[in-house]
Amino acid sequence: MSESRFYKIDGNTYIKTTDKENNPLDLDSEEKIITQVGNYLDSVSTVKIKNERDKTAENIEAINGLDGLLKKEILNLGVSAENIRPNIVETIHFLSEEDFCNFIPRAQEIKVGAASSAARGNILICPERFSSEAQIYKALLHEMVHAQSLRILKMGDGMQNYSVEKLGYKNNSFQGLNEAITDLTVFEIIKNNRDVLKNMIGLSDDEFKKIEKNLYPYCPLVEKLVDEIAEQKQESREDVWRSFERGLFSGEIMHLRDIENLKGEGALRLIASLGYSQENDKKVFDYFSVEEANKKELSKYYKQENLEKAA
Ligand SMILES: [Zn+2]
């Protein structure tokens, strides 16, 4: 029988073995290799990058603070503590402008200053690229949500030969949906902890407004769907949104069927196709009657998206 097995590596990370037909290993050897892969993944995410800056005491305090708020949010969604990745802080690396661009060549053309790698499990950030502390930490929190999202890696034929099969909602599709739910989760955390964040990262009321406007172009579409699903199912908006948010960390996707129930067959396929081509996205926006203004945001997104892919 060709069946792949799942091994839990750490908190949110699972490794899927290759199909049995292509997998010559017996169970014992397989488990040994999985342990090695786990150790490798641990070290590759936390290993220092050449020339990376030491984090200041303030950096560490802010990151720990954000990490705590994020974990609290995930627990409140009903995800169990053992499915939360324990060590995020050491996977974050502060780089200079030059080193950030060396690592991510496309960053020379693009303004974005933070990126995460699902394969390496680390986050790179260039503080000089942001106009304020609050913007730095908002971008960091976005990457931290990616880093806490359910991660499934698929093993290849060697210890370091694996590929990312799924991160949050994203597999070969659902890129746009994954980004929107990630950003809306960031916004949820910021909204619910405004006073704490004022002290923690110097988030002023003006900054809060800027962050509020700084959402991905797919966010309004997701919010619209949540509203309409809530109305159709006679449930609270909060409950419907929470199922979308929880899916990022739990991998549950049953609630996505509500999109088909709402809009008819084929609607989910359209949502899955968001985030891969600007032309297609515009058509999907038309289908779901998303406001014209959001189409303009797409070009910004596409520049940024290329950066994330390059990381
Ligand atoms: Zn992202």
Distance 146 CA to ligand 1 centre (A): 7
The answer to whether the beta carbons of residues 226 and 244 sit under 8 Å apart is yes
- Relative to beta strand 122-125, strand 92-94 is parallel
Rounded to the nearest angstrom, the distance between the alpha carbon of 115 and the centre of ligand 1 is 7
Distance 168 CA to ligand 1 centre (A): 11
pLDDT number for residue 6: 86
| Ligand 1 centre distance from Cα of residue 179 (Å) | 5
> Model's pTM, two decimal places?
0.93
User: Dihedral angle at the C-alpha atoms of 224, 227, 231, 236, nearest 10 degrees?
Assistant: 170
pLDDT at 250: 95
- Write the single-letter amino acid at 191: K
- State the Cα–Cα distance between residues 191 and 212, nearest whole angstrom: 9
Measured in angstroms, how far is the CA atom of residue 140 from the centroid of ligand 1?
10
Residue 23: what pLDDT? 62
How many A from CA of 143 to the centre of ligand 1? 6
Local structure of residue 228 (DSSP, 8 states): H
For residue 220, give the 3-state DSSP assignment: helix
CA of 122 to the centre of ligand 1 (A): 13
Q: Closest Cα partner for 160 from 24, 25, 43, 20?
A: 43
Low-confidence residues of the chain: pLDDT under 50: 1
Q: What percent of the chain has pLDDT over 90?
A: 63
Q: In angstroms, what is the span from residue 93 Cα to ligand 1's centroid?
A: 16
Long-range contacts of 21-27 (CB under 8 A, 24+ apart): 22/157
Ligand 1 center from residue 161 Cα (angstroms): 24
Q: What pLDDT is attached to residue 1?
A: 46
Where does residue 173 rank: exposed (0-12), middle (13-18), buried (19+ CB within 10 A)? middle
Q: Give me the helices (H) in 131-218, please.
A: 133-148, 175-192, 194-201, 205-213
Q: Output the pLDDT for position 204.
A: 83
Query: What's 56's DSSP letter?
Result: P
Scanning the structure block, which residue is given the tokens 């909204």?
Answer: 191
Looking at beta carbons, which pairs linking 74-82 to residues 24 or more positions away fall under 8 Å? Answer: 74/148, 74/249, 77/242, 77/245, 77/246, 77/249, 77/250, 78/246, 79/246, 79/249, 79/250, 82/11
> How far is ligand 1, taken at its centre, from the CA of residue 42, in Å?
21
Q: What is the distance in A from the centroid of ligand 1 to the CA of 286?
A: 24
Give distance in angstroms: CA of 160 to centre of ligand 1: 24
Compute, in angstroms, the gap from residue 156 CA to the centroid of ligand 1. Answer: 26
State the distance from the centre of ligand 1 to the C-alpha of 174, rounded, in angstroms.
12
Rounded Cα–Cα distance for residues 4 and 232 (Å): 38
What is the tally of helices (H) and strands (E) in the chain? 13, 7
Q: What is the DSSP letter of 96?
A: -
Q: Report how far ligand 1's centroid is from the alpha carbon of 173 (Å).
A: 14
